[in-house]
Structure 1
């Protein structure tokens, strides 16, 4: 699949939000190292706004360089960010990019299956082209 040029929508210390107009999805590319909770909230707030603005429902979460979420961050992501009302968004899909060494420790069946967390149906990937191909075949 040939995709168009990515556009940077927002960036801060927690990462950047990019839009892939050809594929009609966004990429949340997390930065490495420590982050402030407020920076994460702002980053994800901008990503939510971009999804609503474009009326898109697909996202690539690039976790390959990021420090894992702290418990409070995980709770906020689950309770607040993923609680998008169904009335505002169709099904919500996420392709999660994990470091190859992390993905290698996950059973193959688990990595290849689609899972659901709150409103998000997601699948795990090691490479961005595979994630883009999966998103492209979704409605």
Structure 2
């Protein structure tokens, strides 16, 4: 895998299977670095015309309200610009899925350009991305 971007928030990698691999670092995040990190992720997706993202959040601190709001607005803007649908597989820390309420798991205001699923294991997340690619090619 080739490194595309890195800062204190984490690393954005070009996965040879044709998706962006986003690995979040441990610890708190500076909001400006967070925005830069995800903006560069979007640039990578546009650069190659990719429509898939694997976000590894196993080491990171939970997102702040400010971060969640910014992510929602970022993807909503993408949707309004007519951006292609993005499939995002998110790997959460082990056991976290069982502790979150269904409301937190899937936000009902999810932008139409973003379809995401939450996983505890990377293999399951990758399998889901491959399944989405097969369905899109039908």
TM tier, shorter chain?
0.7 to 0.9
Measured against aligned partners, the alpha-carbon deviations of 1:30-83 in whole angstroms (never above 9, x if no partner) come to 111111001101100110000000000110111111111111111111112453
CA distance in 2, matches of 1:38, 1:87: 23
CA distance in 2, matches of 1:87, 1:56: 16
Alpha carbons of structure 1 residues 85 and 125: separation in structure 2 relative to 1, 3 Å: same
CA distance in 2, matches of 1:87, 1:71: 24
* TM-score (normalizing by structure 1): 0.82
Q: 1:95, CA displacement in angstroms?
A: 0.3
Are 2:126 and 1:117 equivalent residues in the alignment?
no
What's the C-alpha RMSD, in Å, of the aligned pairs?
2.3
Query: For 2:115, what is the secondary structure of its paired residue?
Result: strand
**Aligned with 2:42 (options 12, 32, 48):** 48
CA distance in 2, matches of 1:122, 1:116: 12
Number of residue-to-residue matches in the alignment = 130
Alpha carbons of structure 1 residues 30 and 78: separation in structure 2 relative to 1, 3 Å: same
CA distance in 2, matches of 1:96, 1:15: 15
- Report if the CA contact (8 A) 1:44-1:81 is conserved: no
- Report if the CA contact (8 A) 2:91-2:121 is conserved: yes
Aligned to 1:68: 62
CA distance in 2, matches of 1:63, 1:124: 10
Alpha carbons of structure 1 residues 13 and 74: separation in structure 2 relative to 1, 3 Å: same
Unaligned runs of 5+ in 1: 1-5
Are 2:53 and 1:59 equivalent residues in the alignment?
yes
More helix by share: 2
Unaligned runs of 5+ in 2: none
Aligned to 2:10: 15
CA distance in 1, matches of 2:39, 2:122: 23
- Report if the CA contact (8 A) 2:5-2:40 is conserved: yes
* TM-score (normalizing by structure 2): 0.83
